[in-house]
Amino acid sequence: MMEWTLAGLFVISALLLVFSLVKTYRDSKTQHKEIDLVHVSLMKEINSIQDSIRDIELDIEVVMKEAGIQLSADEKLLMREVIDLYRRNYSIESIAEKKQVTENEIEELLAPYLKIKDEGGLVANAN
């Protein structure tokens, strides 16, 4: 009788082990599907952002050609960095020092952007 009880318990434990393995396999498969869906969604979003960036770059190129502005890659990079630093509230002196150019050059580069900012302040103060 004891042998049958041990054999029965052994069979039950083997069945529980198999059931556990099958359930774990199904759960992991479900998790992989969810991860794949998130990955596909993320890749679609990345592609959409890349398309938007490409469109913006083309728009900028068209506007620059229409305006007759010809800047080299280095000049564009300098302008981008100077404007970025200025918008992050760096002083003209610190921008000039960081970019190793004169303050007058920085002021000339920022002139169109300084006028826009000053005009906004005048409108706000007029009311």
Ranges of each domain in the chain: 1-67, 71-127
Nearest-angstrom CA–CA distance, 103 and 96: 5
Confirm if 85 and 92 have CB atoms less than 8 A apart.
no
pLDDT range class, residue 124, cuts 50, 70, 90: very low
Q: Is the pLDDT of residue 36 over 70?
A: yes
Beta carbons of 97 and 107 less than 8 angstroms apart: no
pLDDT tens per residue, range 42-96: 999 999 999 999 999 899 888 888 887 787 888 888 988 999 999 999 999 999 9
pTM: 0.53
DSSP state at residue 101 = S
Distances (CA, A) of 4 to 9, 16, 18, 115: 8, 18, 21, 95
For 56, half-sphere exposure in the C-beta direction (CA atoms, 13 angstrom radius) is 6
Residue for token pair 């620059």: 64
* Mean pLDDT, residues 13-32: 95
Interhelix angle 73-87/103-126, rounded to 10 degrees, is: 50
